[in-house]
Structure formats: C-alpha cells, structure tokens
Amino acid sequence: RGVLAEADGGVVLLPMAAAVAAMPQVGLSPDEVRRWRQGQRLNVRAALGAGAEVALLDEGGELVGVGVAGEGGVKPKLVFPVG
C-alpha cells in the first residue's frame, strides 16, 4: 500500500505515512494498534486540541489510521487493516 507521487518525470509509490507527514503523529504500541483496528478510542498521550486530526503509526512507522482528538482520547476516523 502506498501513495502515488510524481518525481523526476515519473510516478513513484511512497509509503502511506508520507500522505500524512504534515499531521501530528502518534506512535502506538502493538496492543494499541490491535485496539485501534477494533475501532476503539485510544487514550494517547499527546498535546492535541479538541477536533485535531492525528496520524497513528505502528512501531515500524506504518500508518494504521487517522483519528480525531477529543475528550477521552483519540477516536477513529480512518482505520487501515493489516496489510
């Protein structure tokens, strides 16, 4: 899985995390990744304002989803399955 981008007159496939590079990012433990993929809200430790979108990455830096910060943690907006 990846994102297509133009480079040097051609098209290249970039990692999914490249698509959200400008967003705040939070690394997740394996247990948090499992819970995220089950659609659960996570109580992550990050300085985010309510309504802020955040990219969630596994320990290998792979994008596992995008969430929205709010009271009680980050709730799922997009969840990517195991690839």
Which pLDDT tens digit goes with each residue over 10-52? 777 777 787 888 899 999 999 999 999 999 999 876 667 888 8
Residue 83: pLDDT band with limits 50, 70, 90: low
Reference 42, options 78, 67, 16; nearest CA is 67
Number of Cα atoms under 13 Å in the Cβ half of residue 67: 30
Look at 79 and 17; give whichever has higher pLDDT: 79
How confident is the model over 52-81, as a mean pLDDT? 90
